[in-house]
Structure 1
């Protein structure tokens, strides 16, 4: 468990250092835009929390390397593969000028690099027609893998809207990955998942509930890539693990992304990359939490921000729990994926139509 302790302490201290000297770098690193449609914080906050997480994971794996080089050679290669995704996200955090398509291409480059270094690609999706096509055309398999990994990385950036939301969802998902990796005795994957969990907890000390530091794009892309690539490696190295296990495990951020594309491109006929304030977590904030807490002063804005996240933690757990229980059985996993999609859409449209169940509210608005 020392990998958890080392990554936690390193992430905690690096994040503290970022906060302590924020007056030096805040003009570059702070999220000072408080009026955007996706902004729900009251003061300018450093958005480079991903630096502490990256360094925490890196140092924890370096320490482990001297204890068991075969295990943590794996982790260090994964860190190296993550560099394009992390660095382009960090560049966006500092400049605020990197286009979405450039960031997605960087995530695909990370996926391609990891696939090459580990010789691990998605060999199938357990969907009729796709598996034979991916086996017949390796280039198609490589393309699907890179697209899937970049999609998951972007999904974690999309749900990164409130204090503790994306990071705690990642902890829940990584716990499932670590558990199944332990079940199949894949200790490199298990240790890599634990290293990220420890680093995320170190970040969460400062991020939740007060929101003193944000993940930023660098942190969100790094976390999403880490989870996606561990999923690819787990299913490619262990055929007994269903390809639908990581899909159901990450179903909340993935479905949030797909539903957002549908909502923007089909319903509103706008560009899918155009930001709005209609994500599920934003609706919960505006139409459930906001009504429950009264005025709009700065303290209550931060309080409402943090009160929103646990709703989505529970939603994420609703897909993670059955994924862990039935990680071998793709038919059961597909059934639960369908159930989760129905539940998500029901919750979304109930809130949109102001018909959210009363039990979702913490207390009735006076």
Structure 2
């Protein structure tokens, strides 16, 4: 598809230029904090990869507009709606001074814009009682939609911790959205999903495995919003698609966020926004990807970083595959959501207590 090729090439080239001329803008764009609890790189790296992803999408839909007005307009409107979330995330990448609350409000503003201009409102969640409230009081539907979109956006920002992790998880989820959109004959949503897949692959060429550039908050907010809105629009436009389909698709980043809040607020009794090094991907990095001679130089850290992400890609696939197979049946999807939650907690418990099966531990001489 032309939109896939265009978004890939533009993202690839823009990201290359950002890396190539890093010396000109590093004082503004580089992630120079290499000692924080959530930092796993040894040299300053540009963290504005989201710029290439956005430009890849934008050029692809401008080109598409002249080929197919309906699809091109839909994509461009979705880009326009995502701009508040992206811009405030991007400003945070440049200044490190935009608070979480401000970024949250920007995300909610993007959700409201998408709801108003594209009809992206949830009308039900297939839960007894809540659906009746949403029908009786439209403001409840608006609030739940904004909460859901903001939650998914924040979830993708939380899992953006290692080379290729958040971006490849997004590719896997977008593949599921594109498949179901194809099944129900919704070309605009399918092409929007494919376009972002192209942009993400252009970014991944430089991000994985060497980590030459990071996605940054702007990029994470962009892909989180894009996935959240395509999910809302897909279920709003096609009642046969279960509301639990996108929830199961995105359950890895969503549950990672919920579990993080539980761990910080209930177990550690700290503010939920307080950074720590206890995310599942961080535990996998430290305890499941090992260098047998204990070397922890730059090359070793880069290797461990890149080998951490595939574990989480597989975990994501365990949810995406049943979501794609049973996208119509909310009861089956609910059951698989429960199975995923139990599996996640078991994996976390096993890693914390060093009860990891040997065949899951990856070893290599450093």
TM range (shorter): over 0.9
Matching residue of 1:243: 243
Matching residue of 1:207: 207
The 2-side partners of 1:175 and 1:262 are apart by 30
What CA deviation, in whole Å up to 9, does each residue of 1:251-280 have, x standing for no partner?
Answer: 000000000000000111100000000000
Deviation at 1:289, TM superposition (A): 0.8
Deviation at 1:291, TM superposition (A): 5.1
8 Å Cα contact 2:290-2:361 kept in structure 1: no
Matching residue of 1:118: 118
The 1-side partners of 2:128 and 2:72 are apart by 37
Which ranges of structure 2 fall in alignment gaps of 5 or more residues? Answer: none
Matching residue of 2:68: 68
Deviation at 1:290, TM superposition (A): 3.4
Q: How does 1:222-237 map to 2 (within 5 A)?
A: 222-237=222-237
Which ranges of structure 1 fall in alignment gaps of 5 or more residues? Answer: none
Deviates more, 1:327-336 or 1:348-357: 348-357
TM-score normalised by structure 1 residue count: 0.98
8 Å Cα contact 1:292-1:361 kept in structure 2: no
TM-score normalised by structure 2 residue count: 0.98
Q: How does 1:22-33 map to 2 (within 5 A)?
A: 22-33=22-33
| Counterpart secondary structure, 1:66 | helix
The 2-side partners of 1:47 and 1:356 are apart by 33
Matching residue of 1:183: 183
8 Å Cα contact 1:156-1:220 kept in structure 2: yes
Matching residue of 1:302: 302
The 2-side partners of 1:131 and 1:329 are apart by 17
The 2-side partners of 1:359 and 1:156 are apart by 29
What CA deviation, in whole Å up to 9, does each residue of 1:209-241 have, x standing for no partner?
Answer: 000000000000000000000000000000000
Q: How does 1:82-97 map to 2 (within 5 A)?
A: 82-97=82-97
Matching residue of 1:156: 156
The 2-side partners of 1:192 and 1:171 are apart by 12
What CA deviation, in whole Å up to 9, does each residue of 1:96-135 have, x standing for no partner?
Answer: 1111111111111100100000123100111111101111
Are the structure 2 counterparts of residues 293 and 173 from structure 1 closer, same or farther at C-alpha, using a change threshold of 3 Å?
farther
The 1-side partners of 2:62 and 2:296 are apart by 46
Matching residue of 2:169: 169
Are the structure 2 counterparts of residues 176 and 281 from structure 1 closer, same or farther at C-alpha, using a change threshold of 3 Å?
same
Matching residue of 1:40: 40
Deviation at 1:363, TM superposition (A): 3.0
Deviation at 1:364, TM superposition (A): 7.9
What CA deviation, in whole Å up to 9, does each residue of 1:44-101 have, x standing for no partner?
Answer: 1000000000000110011011000011211110000000000000000000111111
8 Å Cα contact 1:293-1:304 kept in structure 2: no
8 Å Cα contact 1:292-1:362 kept in structure 2: no
| Counterpart secondary structure, 1:91 | helix
The 2-side partners of 1:284 and 1:365 are apart by 17
Task: Give runs of ≥4 in structure 1 deviating > 2 Å.
Answer: 290-294, 363-366
Matching residue of 1:59: 59
The 1-side partners of 2:79 and 2:185 are apart by 21
Residues 1:338 and 2:338 aligned together: yes
Q: How does 1:265-304 map to 2 (within 5 A)?
A: 265-290=265-290, 292=292, 294-304=294-304
Deviation at 1:294, TM superposition (A): 2.9
8 Å Cα contact 2:290-2:364 kept in structure 1: no
Matching residue of 1:314: 314
What CA deviation, in whole Å up to 9, does each residue of 1:120-167 have, x standing for no partner?
Answer: 310011111110111110001001101110110010000000000000
The 2-side partners of 1:335 and 1:180 are apart by 20
Are the structure 2 counterparts of residues 300 and 80 from structure 1 closer, same or farther at C-alpha, using a change threshold of 3 Å?
same
